[in-house]
Amino acid sequence: MHTTYCKTPIGIAKITGDHNGVQSIHVLDEENVPEELMQPSTPLCLQECVVQLEAYFLGKRDHFNLTVNPKGTDFQIKVWKSLLKIPFGKTKSYLEQSKALGDVKATRAVAAANGKNPLWIVIPCHRVIASDGALTGYAGDIWRKKWLLAHENPIKQHSLF
């Protein structure tokens, strides 16, 4: 298993994986990453992930094309796959996600599976919100969820002239 780090506008992405794909991407606060870890060479198997994350944060990418290998239960993997169907710049409620998975009563289980998502941003759990529109339940802190949603759907100012 290899690890690399990528600086983003909202924290440090810790990326792990191997020749089978990217296994996890987690966001860390910058002060929690020793400076010496920020300088290593990126293993070949993780280079494309770094390139695509950097393009995403520059506003030049709205989807990811990576080989991923997340670890989870069958249910969690099913939930994570459903997250990939939420378009860039759009949101869906936990209830809507549960309905799409075929069980309206599984909302809490779906939310818990979203919370275990090991592939920050690549599997876009930040696009899932409460039914009332509230930004709830984000392992990377709500301020990051708000930032990501604004990044994906910026308010366009209309010209006055």
- Give the number of other Cβ atoms within 10 Å of residue 11's Cβ: 20
- Which residue is catalytic, options 6, 45, 49, 125? 125
Task: Take residue 53 and report the two structure tokens written for it.
Answer: 């994350």
**Is 125 one of the catalytic residues?**
yes
Query: Please, is 73 exposed, middle or buried when counting C-beta atoms within 10 Å of its C-beta (0-12, 13-18, 19+)?
Result: exposed
Kindly give, in sequence order, each residue whose CB lies less than 8 Å from that of residue 53, ignoring residues fewer than 6 positions away: 6, 8, 13, 15, 25, 121
Enzyme catalytic residues: 125
